[in-house]
Amino acid sequence: MPATQQGRPAVWVVLCLCAIGVGRAQSDELARKSHEAKQLMAAGRFVEAIPLYQELGRALPSNTGLRLNLRLAYHMTGRQAEAVPEFERVLKSDPGNGPALISLGVALLELNQPARAVAPLEKVVAAQPSHAEARGMLANALLSLGRNREAAAQFRALSGMSPQDPKAWYGLGRSYEALARAAFEELNKTAQGSAEWLALVAESRMQRRQYRSAFYFYTEALRKRPDSRGLHLALAEVYRRTEHADWA
């Protein structure tokens, strides 16, 4: 689930909702430019909208909506490095601004800075638990940082929200695989040769369909833990897969 695929649709919704005009007390010229910039954004002509929003921002520095749309125009034209500090300025004055938070997260992911993207995405998910797009980006950011347990929790929630989404299940599987590798590495350091270690090796051989090797490691594990029902069941599965169901 790349950030560009996840982030752009969310930002487009923001563009439609956050095109804020100037107040009635402002000059007709500023109002005209605000309307023109809004129309350019709606038409996807973001490059043309940037100078208008820059001018409006200088004239109305306290208008958060205008500043945010400038940042979004930067974002949509791929100028992420310029967009990030602008989103951060919006969040200084309005820390809970949802559009700015998710847009900042997307921009940071596109700049390959997942560690910085986590915090704004976490805020979005905390405020909007049903925001599947933000949760998916957060889960992938955590996974890329090796924070596998946290990533798995996010992917579990996402798979519950969107059970038909294969990306959610794929991410959950990758998280579990990373956790299993980490657990095996730790076990390899501290308990090599134990029944648990032998069983994990056997399971990895099963996954690769190396049944002869799996049989060896399961029987070695059983020698150390003959009363383990789980090991007996695993060995029976080896027999079934090697077409010795009667032995199982």
Instruction: State which of 79, 109, 143 marks the end of a domain.
Output: 143
Q: Taken in order 129, 135, 138, 144, is the CA torsion positive or negative? A: positive
Are residues 219 and 131 both part of a single domain? no
Q: Is 209 a domain residue?
A: yes
Domain count for the chain = 2
First-last CA distance in the chain:
42
Q: Taken in order 44, 99, 165, 162, is the CA torsion positive or negative? A: negative
Going from the first residue of the chain to its last (248 residues), give the mean pLDDT of each consecutive group of 10, the final group possibly shorter. 42 42 60 87 89 84 78 81 82 87 90 95 95 95 94 94 90 88 74 81 83 88 88 86 72
Q: Is 230 a domain residue?
A: yes
Give the span between the Cα atoms of 201 and 203, in whole angstroms: 5
Long-range pairs for 14-21: beta carbons < 8 A, 24 or more residues apart: 14/68, 14/72, 14/99, 14/102, 14/103, 15/41, 15/42, 15/69, 15/72, 15/76, 16/42, 17/99, 18/65, 18/68, 18/69, 18/72, 18/99, 19/65, 19/69, 20/63, 20/64, 20/65, 20/66, 20/69
Q: Is 23 a domain residue?
A: yes
- Output the pLDDT for position 112: 93
Give the span between the Cα atoms of 116 and 100, in whole angstroms: 14
Are residues 196 and 137 both part of a single domain? no
Buried b (16+ CB within 10 A) or exposed e, 143-164: beeebbebbbebbbbbbeeeee
Are residues 124 and 18 both part of a single domain? yes
Are residues 37 and 134 both part of a single domain? yes
Helices (H), 22-131: 28-42, 46-59, 64-76, 80-93, 98-110, 114-127
* Percent helix / strand / coil, the chain, rounded to 5: 75, 0, 25
- Output the pLDDT for position 248: 55
Are residues 198 and 129 both part of a single domain? no
DSSP readout, 135-173? Answer: HHHHHHHHHHTT-HHHHHHHHHHHHHH-TT-HHHHHHHH
- Cα 202 → chain centroid: 32
The parent domain of residue 209 ranges over 191-248
Are residues 128 and 200 both part of a single domain? no
